[in-house]
Amino acid sequence: MYHLYSHNDLDGVGCGIVAKLAFGDQVEVRYNSVSGLDIQVQHFLEKTKDSMRQDELFITDLSVNQDNEERLNKYAEAGGKVKLIDHHKTALHLNQHDWGLVQVEYDDGRLASATSLLYEYFIQHDLIIPTNALDQFTELVRQYDTWEWEKHDQKQAKRLNDLFFLLSIDEFEEKMIRRLSENDQFFFDEFEEKLLDLEDQKIERYLRRKKREMVQTFIHEHCVGIVHAESYHSELGNRLGKDNPHLDYIAILIMGAKRVSLRTIHDHIDLSEVAGRYGGGGHAKASGCSLTDEVYQLYVDEAFRIEPMRPDAFRNIYNLKGSENGSLYENREHVTFFLFPSDNKWNIQINGETQDETFSAFEEAEWFIKRNYAASLVRDEVYVTFLAEHMKLTNRSRR
pLDDT tens-place string over residues 149-179: 988 888 999 999 999 999 999 999 999 999 9
Q: Are residues 294 and 331 in the same domain?
A: no
- pLDDT tens digits, 322-358: 999 999 999 999 999 999 999 999 999 999 999 999 9
Q: Give the pLDDT score at 50.
A: 56
What residue numbers bound the domain in which 255 lies?
214-304
Query: Residue 204 domain-assigned?
Result: no
Same domain membership, residue 144 and residue 32: yes
Q: Please return the burial class of 283, using the count of CB atoms within 10 Å of its CB with bins 0-12, 13-18 and 19+.
A: buried
Rounded to 10 degrees, what is the CA torsion of 362, 364, 369, 370?
A: 100
Residue 168 lies in a domain: yes
Within-domain flag for 193: no
Q: What is the mean predicted confidence (pLDDT) over 63-71?
A: 94
383 has pLDDT over 50:
yes
Could you report the per-residue pLDDT of 38-50, keeping only the tens digit for each?
999 998 988 876 5
Instruction: Judge whether 117 lies within some domain.
Output: yes
Alpha helices in the chain (DSSP H): 10-23, 36-47, 66-77, 114-124, 132-145, 148-151, 155-166, 169-182, 190-211, 233-243, 271-276, 293-296, 302-304, 362-373, 380-398
Q: Which residues pair with 286 in a beta bridge?
A: 263
At 373 the pLDDT is: 96
Residue 198 lies in a domain: no
Q: Are residues 261 and 386 in the same domain?
A: no
The helix-helix angle for 10-23 and 169-182 (nearest 10°) equals 50
Within a domain: 375: yes
Instruction: Please compute the mean of the pLDDT values over residues 384-394 and round it to a whole number.
Output: 78
Contacts of 14 (CB under 8 A, 6+ apart): 113, 114, 115, 137, 138, 141
pLDDT > 60? residue 281:
yes
Least confidently predicted of 4-8, 44-48, 152-156, 295-299: 44-48
Is 200 inside any structural domain? no
Co-location of 59 and 151 in the same domain: yes
Q: In the listed set 304, 335, 370, which residue is the last one of a domain according to the structure? A: 304
Mean pLDDT, residues 256-274 taken together: 94
Residue 219 sits in a domain of what CATH number?
3.10.310
Q: Evaluate whether residue 93 is within a structural domain.
A: yes
The answer to whether residues 19 and 128 belong to one domain is yes
Looking at residue 47, its pLDDT comes to 82
At 361-378, the pLDDT tens digits run: 999 999 999 999 999 999
Question: Among 188, 205, 226, where does a domain finish?
Answer: 188
Q: What is the pLDDT of residue 368?
A: 97
What is residue 90's predicted lDDT score, i.e. its pLDDT?
87
pLDDT at 393: 55
The Cα 48–Cα 67 span in angstroms is 17
Which tens digit of pLDDT belongs to each residue from 122-144? 999 999 999 999 999 999 999 99
Confidence tier at 398 by pLDDT (50, 70, 90)? very low
CATH at 43: 3.40.50
Same domain, 166 and 255: no
Please check the confidence at residue 399 and state whether its pLDDT lies above 70.
Answer: no
Claim to verify: residue 6 and residue 67 sit in the same structural domain: yes
User: Which of 222-226, 258-262, 383-387, 393-397 bottoms out in mean pLDDT, i.e. has the lowest?
Assistant: 393-397
CA-based nearest residue to 317, from 258, 383, 388, 373: 383
Does 103 lie in the same domain as 6?
yes
Q: Into how many domains does the chain fold?
A: 3
Answer yes or no: is pLDDT of 194 > 60: yes
Is 248 in the same domain as 380? Answer: no
Q: Which whole number is the average pLDDT over 214-242? A: 95
pLDDT of residue 234: 87
Task: Tell me: do 294 and 360 sit in the same domain.
Answer: no
- 39/184 same-domain check: yes
Angle ∠(252,253,258) on CA atoms, nearest 5: 140
Q: Are residues 123 and 264 in the same domain?
A: no
